[in-house]
Structure 1
Amino acid sequence: KNLYKNPVWELVPKPKDRKLVGCKWVFRKKEGLHEQDAMRFKTRLVAKRYSQKEGVDYNEIFSPVVKHTSIRLLLAMATQHDMEIEQMDVKTAFLHGDLKETIFMAQPEGFVEYGNENLVCQLRKSLYGLKQSPRQWYKRFDYFMLKINFRRCLYDCCVYYHVFQDGMIILLLLYVDDMLIACQDKSRIQDLKKMLSKEFDMKDLGAAQKILGMEIQRDRTTGRIWISQAKYIQKVLEKFNMQEAKVVSTPLAAHFNLSGQQCPKSEEEQQVMEKVPYANVVGCLMYAMVCTRPNIAQAISVVSRYMGNPGKQHWDAVKWILCYLKGVLGYVDADYAGDLDKRRSTSGYVFTCAGGPISWRALLQPITALSTTEAEYIALAEARKEAIWLSGLVSQMGITQDCVKLKCDSQNCQNYAV
């Protein structure tokens, strides 16, 4: 229905000098936004992107999405200023994008037009699966937002804002086809929703309760908001048969002195570890860390260094992190020469707003520090870069702040910075 509604293609004779892009139907189950919502069954026609040829079927393909930090900052702002937070979803978003390239595709299975079996589809709109579809959708949405007098944030190009004459600000954050809208005046949110619904096929999800797997709970009487991934983490534990594991109290125990020396050296050891879903588990944990769990950032930074050739000790450390997740202010810090392979230090920082963390990171430093003070100073430099970006972001999102305070536990480093 949506394919014909847009319309996505027109039937033309098959060109002799062009190779067709294939397509297939993809079926999936999708959970409802609320617990009481029934499971939905969806089907989608997707192009086989691997059959596209660069320079012929596509050129530029980069497409931005809103940063998770921006989402957390918006939620913190809404808590501080008692803003309404509404959520919308674009139905079949990619079908709204216009294609620049000429792409020919075989007619979809089961929908070959009677009497025109020899014709092929010449795509007019972007289709799910095409390499350039996310980019074309973003450009289409960006054009519309600028047309209705919204401004694109310089520090996150998926954050849009509009300042009214009375000084009130309305914000919209876009992650592919999911969006959050925040404003103190709900009627102005409704006006924006009407404009969006007039331009695109939208689904109004009401007050924000879940985005990108993050569950949002809010208590406006106490001015508090919580984001969690309890269901996601439970699914990860069940997926890797860790739901009955014993809970531990630390993300990574002190006895895990991981190094490259523990990587498999014999072919037999490598074959054993190939059966272990190491990269899969680390990827799942990494998403939890990026979204809601800064407390495992350092542990994930360590275990992700051995993705190419993990050993048994590395796998034990990953399972330890899973056990920790089962049970469970702007600061900057660093260890000294904690990496046993290259003696490099690990930087770590956390930035908070409205009493909760909004940005965090743990990373191996690019150079070998010669002292604890130098390691702390390198960490401070990384945190400062993030602070500069955050300062610009919050200023364009309507928050007035004189400075970002960095708290460091090294007196020598503080003296050196002055």
Structure 2
Amino acid sequence: MESLHRNRTWDIVKLPKGKKVVRCKWVFKKKKGTPGVEEPKYKARLVAKGYSKILGVDFTDVFSPVVKHSSIRALLGIVAIHDLELEQLDVKTSLYDLKQSPRQWYKRFDSFMTSHDFKRSSFDSCVYFKKNNNGSFVYLLLYVDDMLTTAKDKGEIRKVKAQLSEEFEMKDLGPANKILGMDILKDRKANKLYLSQKGYIEKVLCRFNMQSANPVSTPLVAHFKLSAALSPQLMRLSTCHMFYTLVQWHLSCMLWFVHIQIYHMQSVPLADTWKIPFGRTRDGFIGYVDADFARDLDRRRFLTGYVFTIRSCAISWKATLQTTVTLSIPKAEYMAITKACKEAI
């Protein structure tokens, strides 16, 4: 309750005539801690019953941006290449479940950052950066109320933390080791940084009782050609796979050609040690793009696939069916190039 008051979550006002009060309720949850930083604990959240609000009467605009996953990976690549410090913060309390809460929170945070000489990225509205007098940069990424900040000098990070703590009720999580379910592993001696989802993979395997499955190197033999008519709809498993592709970019293409079946999960136990490596190589910013030859049996559309790397670190990728049926391979490749160029810009 103290942090709710400190963050100025609400003001006491008279109820306008003809308006209804949005009531609150308590939500209790066990929160996983951060190894070496915070122990697991039980949390009580005071949330608003936002479902009682009416569009056009109680609220209008609700859109609020969140940082792109490619921005997170790009920042991690920069951290590994330049051996930067990387730390994590969290806003302690905000009022949950109001329809416009995320938007109002972002507007307040954006106003604070821009007033403290940070610039907002034109590519991603949740990426902020500031150039210091010595030419170095301080970066901050925002995902709702979770933040990653990085700089060459720890003193610059402490300065940012102090500024944020003066305005918001903050929790300092120390060196970053997890973001959005992805583990951040740093090996400073080898100048390497890894992004892994081993914990999430184990959780999904337990969910579908596959934790004791015998691993196989190939989930389906290459000559099989499946269509949607041959595969049952297993949306829950498909959703888990799509989240896993946040880290494993080479699975994005496979998911379009392999219609999801339970036995496909047998390839995952082999993948629980797969990690995206970020490190120092000679390559600069490179993009790869291609289109397949109408291998989608259901709609006969071409597949667009691209991946972008910074110093051989994959930071952005996508594999998706094209929106129209093209009449030739060159046209399909032009469409793929257009998609990739938009991402590159």
The alpha-carbon deviation at position 4 of structure 1 amounts to 4.3
Kept in 1: contact 2:6–2:169 (CA 8 A): no
Task: Give 2:321's match in structure 1, choosing from 364, 368, 374.
Answer: 364
By how many angstroms is 1:319 displaced? 2.4
Q: 1:197 to 1:387 in 2, by over 3 A?
A: same
Pairing 1:279–2:235 present: yes
Asked if 2 retains the 8 angstrom alpha-carbon contact of 1:23 and 1:45, the reply is yes
Q: Distance in 2 between matches of 1:381 and 1:344?
A: 16
* Structure 2 residue aligned with 1:135: 103
Partner of 1:49: 50
For the 8 Å contact 1:251–1:299, the answer to whether it is kept is: no
Alignment of 1:157-172 (within 5 A): 157-172=125-140
Question: 1:16 offset after TM fit, Å?
Answer: 6.1
Classify the secondary structure of the residue corresponding to 1:233: helix
How big is each residue's C-alpha offset from its partner over 1:52-76, in whole Å with a ceiling of 9 and x where there is no partner?
1011211100000111111111111
Alpha-carbon distance between aligned partners in 2 of 1:372 and 1:35, rounded to the nearest angstrom? 53
204-213 vs 364-373, which moves further: 364-373
Matched, 1:205 2:160: no
Instruction: Name the CA distance, whole Å, in 2 between partners of 1:83 and 1:133.
Output: 33
Q: Say if 1:83 and 1:185, in contact at 8 Å, map to a contact too.
A: yes
Distance 1:213 1:292 in 2: 10
In structure 2, distance between residues paired with 1:207 and 1:237: 29
Deviation at 1:320, TM superposition (A): 4.1
CA-to-aligned-CA distance 1:365-415 (integer Å, 9 cap, x gap): 112232333333322221122122xxxxxxxxxxxxxxxxxxxxxxxxxxx
Deviation of the 1:3 alpha carbon: 3.4
Partner of 1:98: none
| Matching residue's letter, 1:386 | E
How far apart in 2 are the matches of 1:38 and 1:7?
A: 28
Native 8 Å contact 2:86 2:150 kept in 1: yes
Tell me the SS of whatever aligns to 1:155: coil
Matched positions, count: 330
Distance in 2 separating the partners of 1:372 and 1:249: 31
Q: Displacement, 1:178?
A: 0.9
- The CA distance in 2 between the partners of 1:178 and 1:346, in whole Å, is 35
Q: Highest CA radius of gyration, 1 or 2?
A: 1
Deviation (angstroms), 1:7? 4.9
C-alpha contact (below 8 Å) 2:27/2:44 kept by paired residues: yes
Q: Distance in 2 between matches of 1:160 and 1:301?
A: 35
Residue 392 of structure 1: aligned partner:
none
Match of 1:346 among 303, 306, 326: 303
Greater percentage in helix:
1
Structure 1 CA distance for aligned equivalents of residues 6 and 72 of structure 2: 33
Counterpart of 1:262 in structure 2 is 230
RMSD, aligned α-carbons: 2.2
CA separation in 1, counterparts of 2:36 and 2:205? 20
CA, structure 1 residues 262+135, in 2 after alignment: closer, same or farther (shift >3 Å)?
Answer: same
For residues 94-139 of structure 1, what are the alpha-carbon distances to aligned partners after superposition, in whole Å with 9 as ceiling and x for unaligned?
Answer: 3xxxxxxxxxxxxxxxxxxxxxxxxxxxxxxxx2100100011101
Distance 2:270 2:116 in 1: 47
215, 223, 226: which one aligns with 1:247: 215
Deviations 1:293-339 (A, max 9, x none): 11210233457xxxxxxxxxx4xx34244222221273222211111
- When the two structures are superposed, what TM-score results if normalisation uses the length of structure 1? 0.74
Change (3 A) 1:253 1:45: farther
- Alpha-carbon spacing, 1:21–1:365, altered in 2? closer, same or farther (3 Å): same
Query: In the alignment, does 2:159 pair up with 1:196?
Result: no
Do the aligned residues in 1 keep the contact of 2:89 with 2:171 (CA within 8 Å)? yes
Residues 1:153 and 2:146 aligned together: no
**Aligned ranges 1:9-48 → 2 under 5 Å:** 9=10, 17-34=18-35, 37-48=38-49
Q: 1:256 to 1:90 in 2, by over 3 A?
A: farther
Is 1:323 equivalent to 2:266 in the alignment?
yes
Give the equivalent residue in structure 2 for 1:175. 143
Kindly indicate whether the alpha-carbon contact (under 8 Å) linking 2:91 and 2:168 is maintained by their aligned counterparts in 1. yes
- Aligned residue type for 1:90: V
SS at match of 2:236: helix
Post-superposition shift, 1:9? Answer: 4.2
Partner-residue secondary structure (3-state), 1:79: helix
Q: Name the residue aligned to 1:393.
A: none
Q: What is the distance in 2 between the residues matched to 1:350 and 1:86?
A: 27
The letter of the residue matching 2:288 is: Y
SS across alignment from 2:54:
coil
Q: In structure 2, what residue type is equivalent to 1:222?
A: A
* Cα distance in 2, alignment partners of residues 170 and 213 from structure 1: 24
Equivalent residues of 2:24, 2:49 under 8 A apart: yes
1:153 positional shift? 0.6
SS at match of 2:64: coil
Give SS of 1:384's match.
Answer: helix
What are structure 2's unaligned runs of at least 5 residues?
272-285
- 1:385 corresponds to: 342
| Contact 1:172–1:180 (8 Å) recurs in 2 | yes
- State the 1:251 CA deviation: 5.9
Match of 1:230 in 2: 198
* Aligned amino acid, residue 50 of structure 2: R
